């Protein structure tokens, strides 16, 4: 059998990003010829990555990185909880969150073409390397970037729910409580007038159906529908929600007492429908 040096294996690995044993096998198959081994690997790994990348990836983590007035939330998916808890996968996810904050890409295409610091690989190439070595589909699903003159604070629950809050005020502890509240209660808007029109229309249709099922008069039905909608607005808009740590206060009242103004927030829940 032809003898393959560690230096040659290392050189092939740096060119193809393939695992060491795969590089050694390819060099043996190519009789030690580097260019031929590279061609063999690119065909093999290309097919492997393509097959894996077609698989469903619903697990993963949410990562957050804030630096001064810039911050990011990112969801990175894999196939199993085992990989989601893998240290290398977690480090990669945190690195991507930091990369987003430092480079402020506007979409996933820009992000995937960014170079990872101290590395010649792009984000997309690094992702493919991980897919090849770990053997699971890995993809960056989405990210949210904050660039502001206001303050930012974050909360991360079990790497599965991430929150960033943009605010004015000095009571950081109180805002942290709000971020935790958002993670638990999952409001869809800051105030009722910011709830997306499509969601309101859908909820209104459900309220009409419920009212009709009660078989009341038209006038009474109108009142019932209004009551259903008001209850809905209170449940899903942050300022109207009852503060999870004090059921005698709304979030709006709690913020006023602490002289805090929430400008915006974003919450990522792993795997949620978009």
Distance of CA 248 to the CA centre of its chain: 33
Interhelix angle 34-53/6-16, nearest 10 degrees: 40
Whole-angstrom Cα distance, residue 102 to residue 180? 25
Is residue 91 within 8 Å of 85, Cβ to Cβ? no
**274 residues of the chain, pLDDT tens digit each:** 678 888 888 888 776 667 788 888 889 888 888 888 888 877 777 777 667 777 888 999 999 999 999 999 999 999 999 999 999 999 999 999 999 999 999 999 999 999 986 777 899 988 888 887 788 889 999 999 999 999 999 999 999 999 999 999 999 999 999 999 999 999 999 999 999 999 999 999 998 888 888 776 666 778 888 999 999 999 999 999 999 999 999 999 999 999 999 999 999 999 998 7
Strand 59-67 to 161-168 pairing:
unpaired
């Amino acid at each position: 059998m032809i003898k393959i040096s560690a230096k040659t294996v290392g050189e092939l690995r740096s060119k193809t990003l393939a695992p060491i044993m795969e590089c050694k096998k390819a060099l043996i198959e190519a009789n030690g010829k580097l260019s031929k081994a590279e061609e063999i690997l690119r065909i093999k790994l290309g097919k492997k990555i393509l097959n894996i990348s077609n698989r469903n990836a619903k697990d993963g983590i949410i990562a957050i990185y804030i630096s001064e007035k810039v911050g990011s939330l990112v969801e990175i998916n894999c196939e199993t909880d085992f990989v989601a808890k893998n240290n290398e996968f977690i480090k990669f996810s945190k690195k991507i969150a930091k990369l987003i904050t430092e480079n402020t890409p506007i979409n996933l295409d820009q992000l995937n073409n960014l170079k990872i610091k101290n590395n010649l690989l792009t984000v997309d190439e690094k992702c493919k390397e991980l897919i090849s070595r770990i053997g699971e589909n890995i993809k960056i699903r989405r990210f949210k970037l904050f660039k502001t003159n206001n303050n930012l604070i974050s909360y991360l629950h079990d790497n599965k729910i991430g929150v960033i809050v943009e605010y004015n005020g000095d009571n950081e502890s109180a805002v942290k409580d709000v971020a935790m509240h958002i993670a638990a209660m999952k409001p869809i808007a800051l105030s009722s007038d910011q709830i997306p029109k499509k969601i309101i229309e859908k909820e209104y249709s459900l309220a009409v159906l419920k009212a009709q099922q009660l078989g009341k008069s038209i006038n009474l039905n109108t009142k019932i529908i209004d009551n259903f909608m008001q209850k809905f607005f209170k449940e899903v808009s942050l300022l109207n929600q009852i503060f999870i740590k004090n059921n005698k206060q709304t979030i709006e009242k709690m913020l006023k007492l602490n002289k805090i103004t929430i400008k915006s927030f974003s919450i990522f829940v792993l795997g949620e429908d978009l």
